[in-house]
């Protein structure tokens, strides 16, 4: 589009120079910061006429990102003793740095602590190469630390790894996570974004599975106040490996999650079960691109939106089955419950199939609470507010009940109840 | 008979659904301890009466009064009618996937307890009673943790309605075609459930098309509904007569 504006035009010329000084003490990383910065300035601003960016106020998010980035202050995180209540491994992200208590197991490393710069440089380089996007550029501009989780062959880790983005105020933050599973390994990760205020969070996650591995990844985004929460997840899955992803997003001024999945190995599989529950004037945007690149691959996407007040939700899902990917199974569903006359949803499930030997389905529905169901519940003595709560919960239960991990199911359910105003 | 206390009193009732006036000047009095059967052809207004009693939002009362336990029923919201002891057994019970039967029933019982300023039911008492009554209704224990009516057969849904009734212990049960779609075995089970509720302090209105259910639940009074009002009342023998002759001999009069 000839008349498309670019990011540079959004910005105050006085702000342009303030980013060259990030990571001055770390010259190799600073090189990546600068390179992404220059690339970013020339990027076009996606218009909201563009289907993929509908309702997503991206220019506002970018603007805020640069404003907040200038204000970023560095404060160390103070640990409380009562935080280790269970066996889980906890890693905190605070002001651009990953922190933890005690020693990390050998399969977890952070850039700041590690002396192995080539290891992290190669991860950043590979990540940037495979993910040429606005969100990735934004992430790299402010990149100062990085978390890497990498298993060895046959390593099965039972402990939950919790990555907690702590509450921030007036900050621009760019968490970056790399997850790599070697053959026959398994791991469980819980990424939790606490509620921030007047901040911009821009998360970049690279996930790579070799053969016969399993990753359970739980993602919980609490309600972000006057904030933007952008994230990009690139997932490559090798032969006979599987990723199970659960997401709960309570919305932000702009909440945008881009998930790109490459089912590269034969019989590789992904399951994504997600709830998005924006209220007030918040937004939750979900973009999925799934590529079936090999035989016998499976994808199952189940997204449920619960939208209240004047919130807006977006589901954009594109599943592509390539020519040689025979015996593929792909199911995609997006169901939405609108709790208010002012809530909006835009949904677009797309299947692109270039192979005959496949089993694919896609569906999208949107509706209000069913009056007959409300009447039925009330006729048993239960008041209207509780009746509605039961119905919303029962709508969400279809997703929540798929979480087999008991602690996680409870955690997600509690946050769901907290995020629903009718609680 | 005259010493009997009145539980429900409907006077000069007009009720409409949408623009259509369906119940026309209905009068009906039910005493404590009585079972009334309401029969009548399709479209005669039987289900509308059930809706009017339960307070369905589609059903508008345009004239008349309903008194239940001497309370003006029409001033009560749907949930309070239930908490006062009115139960509607739905003709088409609603499926609520994801809301388990036991969670739903416990919430209903606790809502009633709260309304009557009683404590919450104890978890063990509740589950003990639920299991016992589910057994009585031939409902498998595994159903109790499943979604309300989720994937139930027609007969299972109706038995589940009666289970809810047994747990809520209403003073007046209004059963809207609870027997439709039931096989003989289910009908016996459902009748057993209904009969176990009958006593001096409870009453029921049984809306049905068939005399068969009434063989098991001996009604004290049988009413014939036509054009939104009662055109004939009698004892159980009236139901047998209807079974033989149909409704035409009455509706053509």
SS3 B147: strand
Cα(A390)–Cα(A396) distance, rounded to whole angstroms? 10
Give residue A2's pLDDT.
Answer: 44
H-helix or E-strand containing B159? helix B154-168
Does residue A2 fall inside a structural domain? no
> Is residue A70's pLDDT more than 80?
no
**Chain B touched by A65 (CB under 8 Å):** no
> Is residue A245's pLDDT more than 70?
yes
Does residue A120 fall inside a structural domain? yes
Examine the domain organization and report whether A126 and A32 are in the same domain. Answer: yes
Examine the domain organization and report whether A298 and A423 are in the same domain. Answer: no
Does residue A302 fall inside a structural domain? yes
Examine the domain organization and report whether A309 and A399 are in the same domain. Answer: no
Cα(B231)–Cα(B251) distance, rounded to whole angstroms? 8
Q: What is the DSSP letter of A385?
A: H
Does residue B127 fall inside a structural domain? yes
At A380, give phi and psi (nearest 5°): -100, 15
> Is residue A143's pLDDT more than 50?
yes
Are the Cβ atoms of B57 and A375 closer than 8 angstroms?
yes
**Chain B touched by A411 (CB under 8 Å):** no
Does residue B1 fall inside a structural domain? no
Does residue A131 fall inside a structural domain? yes
Q: What is the DSSP letter of A100?
A: -
> Is residue A351's pLDDT more than 50?
yes
Q: State how beta strands A214-221 and A186-193 pair.
A: parallel
**Chain B touched by A337 (CB under 8 Å):** no
Give the residue from chain B lying closest to A369, CA to CA: B96
How far is residue A78 from each of residues A4, A37, A196, measured CA to CA in Å? 45, 32, 17
> Is residue A3's pLDDT more than 60?
no
Half-sphere exposure of B25 (CA within 13 A, CB side): 1
What SS3 string covers A216-279? EEEEEECCCECCEEEEEEEEEECCCCEEEEEEEECCECEEEEEEEEEECCCCCEEEEEEEECCC
Examine the domain organization and report whether A190 and A54 are in the same domain. Answer: yes
Range name among A17-26, A207-216, B163-172 with the lowest pLDDT average: A17-26
Residue of higher predicted confidence among A11 and A239 = A239
> Is residue A185's pLDDT more than 90?
yes
Does residue B57 fall inside a structural domain? yes
Examine the domain organization and report whether A249 and A295 are in the same domain. Answer: yes
Examine the domain organization and report whether A288 and A327 are in the same domain. Answer: yes
Give the residue from chain B lying closest to A375, CA to CA: B56
Sign of the CA dihedral with A25 first, then A29, A30, and A33 last = negative
pLDDT in tens, A265-303: 999 999 999 999 999 999 999 999 999 999 999 999 999
Helices (H) and strands (E) in chain B, counts: 9, 12
How far is residue B137 from each of residues A256, B163, B185, measured CA to CA in Å? 51, 7, 11
Query: Among A350, A368, A386, which residue terminates a domain?
Result: A368
Give residue B212's pLDDT.
Answer: 86
Range of the domain at A382: 370-423
Sign of the CA dihedral with A57 first, then A62, A65, and A66 last = negative
Examine the domain organization and report whether A328 and A407 are in the same domain. Answer: no
State chain A's mean pLDDT as an integer: 90
Q: State how beta strands B96-100 and B147-148 pair.
A: antiparallel
Instruction: For residue A397, give the nearest of B77, B98, B108 by CB distance.
Output: B98
Among B54, B78, B84, the strongest candidate for a mutation testing the A interface, having the largest count of A CBs within 10 A, is: B78
Residue of higher predicted confidence among A66 and B67 = B67
* Mean pLDDT score, A69-92: 73
Q: What is the pLDDT along chain B (253 residues), one digit of tens a residue?
A: 456 899 999 999 999 999 999 999 999 999 999 999 999 988 899 999 999 999 999 999 999 999 999 999 999 999 999 999 999 999 999 999 989 999 999 999 999 999 999 999 999 999 999 999 999 999 988 888 899 999 898 899 999 999 999 999 999 999 999 988 888 889 999 999 999 998 899 999 999 988 888 989 989 999 999 999 999 999 988 888 888 888 888 877 5
Examine the domain organization and report whether A261 and A386 are in the same domain. Answer: no
Are the Cβ atoms of B107 and A391 closer than 8 angstroms?
no
Within 8 A of A371 by CB-CB distance, chain B residues are: 57
Within 8 A of A395 by CB-CB distance, chain B residues are: 98
Contact in structure between A201 and A175 (CB atoms under 8 Å):
yes
- When divided into structural domains, chain B yields a total of 1
Contact in structure between B22 and B146 (CB atoms under 8 Å):
no
The candidate with the shortest Cα–Cα distance to B113, out of B77, B132, B134, B85, is B85
SS3 A285: strand
> Is residue A120's pLDDT more than 70?
yes
Examine the domain organization and report whether A340 and A400 are in the same domain. Answer: no
CA dihedral B128, B129, B131, B133 (to 10 degrees): 160
Examine the domain organization and report whether A111 and A213 are in the same domain. Answer: yes
- When divided into structural domains, chain A yields a total of 2
Examine the domain organization and report whether A35 and A77 are in the same domain. Answer: yes
Does residue A216 fall inside a structural domain? yes
CB atoms < 10 A from the CB of B252, how many?
6
How far is residue A183 from each of residues A60, A104, A191, measured CA to CA in Å? 42, 22, 23
Q: What is the DSSP letter of B13?
A: E
At B4, give phi and psi (nearest 5°): -65, 140
Does residue B228 fall inside a structural domain? yes
Does residue A51 fall inside a structural domain? yes
Does residue B113 fall inside a structural domain? yes
Cα(A170)–Cα(A201) distance, rounded to whole angstroms? 11
Examine the domain organization and report whether A243 and A375 are in the same domain. Answer: no
Calculate the CA A113 to chain-centre distance.
Answer: 25
Cα(B221)–Cα(B9) distance, rounded to whole angstroms? 15
Contact in structure between A305 and A345 (CB atoms under 8 Å):
yes
Instruction: State percent of chain A over pLDDT 70.
Output: 91
Residue of higher predicted confidence among A13 and A364 = A364
The domain that holds B206 is classified in CATH as 3.40.50.300
Give the residue from chain A lying closest to B94, CA to CA: A373
* Mean pLDDT score, A238-243: 98
Start-to-end CA distance of chain B, whole Å, equals 30
Q: Name the pLDDT band for A129 (thresholds 50, 70, 90).
A: confident
Calculate the CA A95 to chain-centre distance.
Answer: 19
How far is residue A180 from each of residues A100, A176, A210, A290, B104, measured CA to CA in Å? 20, 13, 8, 19, 44
Q: Where are the beta strands (DSSP E) in chain B?
A: 6-17, 20-31, 35-39, 59-68, 71-72, 86-89, 96-100, 147-148, 172-176, 203-207, 221-226, 229-234
Range of the domain at B198: 6-251
């Amino acid at each position: 589009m000839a008349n498309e504006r670019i990011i540079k035009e959004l910005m105050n010329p006085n702000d342009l120079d303030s980013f060259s000084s990030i990571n001055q003490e770390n010259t190799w990383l600073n090189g990546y910061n600068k390179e992404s910065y220059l690339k970013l300035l020339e990027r076009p601003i996606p218009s909201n006429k563009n289907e993929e960016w509908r309702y997503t106020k991206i220019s506002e998010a970018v603007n805020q990102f640069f404003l907040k980035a200038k204000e970023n202050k560095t404060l160390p995180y103070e640990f409380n003793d009562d935080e280790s209540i269970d066996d889980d491994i906890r890693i905190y992200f605070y002001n651009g740095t990953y922190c933890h208590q005690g020693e990390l197991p050998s399969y977890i490393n952070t850039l700041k602590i590690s002396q192995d710069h080539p290891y992290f440089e190669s991860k950043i380089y590979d990540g940037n190469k495979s993910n040429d996007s606005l969100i990735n550029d934004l992430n790299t501009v402010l990149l100062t630390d990085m978390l890497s989780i990498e298993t060895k062959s046959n390593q099965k880790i039972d402990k939950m790894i919790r990555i907690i983005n702590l509450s921030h105020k007036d900050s621009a933050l760019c968490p970056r996570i790399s997850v790599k599973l070697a053959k026959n390994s398994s791991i469980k990760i819980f990424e939790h974004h606490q509620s921030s205020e007047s901040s911009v969070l821009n998360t970049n996650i690279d996930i790579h599975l070799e053969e016969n591995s399993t990753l359970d990844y739980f993602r919980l985004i609490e309600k972000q106040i006057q904030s933007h929460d952008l994230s990009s997840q690139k997932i490559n899955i090798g032969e006979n490996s599987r990723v199970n992803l659960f997401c709960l997003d309570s919305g932000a001024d702009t909440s945008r999650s881009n998930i790109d999945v490459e089912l590269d190995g034969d019989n590789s599989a992904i399951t994504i079960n997600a709830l998005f529950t924006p209220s007030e004037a918040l937004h939750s945007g979900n973009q999925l691109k799934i590529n079936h690149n090999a035989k016998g691959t499976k994808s199952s996407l189940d997204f449920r939106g619960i939208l209240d007040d004047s919130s807006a939700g977006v589901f954009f899902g594109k599943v592509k089955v390539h020519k040689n990917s025979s015996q593929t199974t792909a199911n995609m569903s997006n169901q939405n419950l609108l709790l208010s006359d002012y809530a909006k949803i835009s949904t677009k499930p797309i299947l692109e199939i270039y192979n005959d030997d496949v089993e694919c389905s896609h569906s999208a529905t949107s509706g209000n609470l069913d009056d007959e169901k409300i009447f039925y519940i009330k006729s048993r003595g239960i008041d209207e507010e509780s009746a509605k709560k039961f119905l919303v919960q029962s709508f969400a239960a279809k997703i929540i009940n798929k979480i087999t991990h008991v602690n996680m199911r409870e955690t997600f359910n509690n946050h769901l109840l907290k995020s629903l105003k009718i609680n | 008979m005259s010493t009997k206390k009145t539980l429900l009193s409907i006077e000069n009732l007009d009720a409409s659904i949408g623009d259509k006036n369906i119940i026309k000047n209905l009068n009906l009095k039910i005493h404590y301890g009585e079972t009334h059967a309401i029969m009548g052809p399709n479209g005669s207004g039987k289900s509308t009466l059930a809706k009017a009693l339960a307070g369905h939002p589609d059903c508008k009362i345009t004239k008349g009064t309903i008194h239940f336990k001497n309370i003006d029923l029409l001033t009560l919201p749907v949930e309070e009618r239930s908490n006062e002891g009115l139960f509607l057994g739905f003709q088409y019970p609603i499926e609520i996937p994801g809301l388990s039967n036991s969670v739903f029933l416990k919430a209903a019982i606790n809502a009633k307890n709260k309304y009557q300023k009683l404590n919450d039911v104890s978890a063990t008492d509740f589950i003990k009673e639920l299991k016992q009554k589910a057994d009585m209704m031939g409902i498998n224990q595994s159903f109790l943790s499943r979604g309300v009516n989720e994937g139930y057969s027609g007969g299972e849904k109706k038995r589940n309605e009666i289970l809810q009734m047994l747990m809520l212990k209403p003073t007046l049960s209004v059963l809207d075609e609870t027997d439709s779609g039931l096989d003989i075995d289910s009908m016996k089970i459902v009748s057993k459930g209904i009969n176990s509720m009958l006593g001096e302090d409870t009453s029921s209105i049984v809306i049905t098309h068939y005399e068969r259910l009434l063989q098991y639940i001996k009604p004290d009074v049988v009413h014939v509904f036509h054009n939104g009002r009662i055109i004939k009342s009698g004892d159980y023998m009236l139901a047998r007569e209807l079974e033989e002759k149909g409704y035409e001999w009455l509706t053509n009069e």
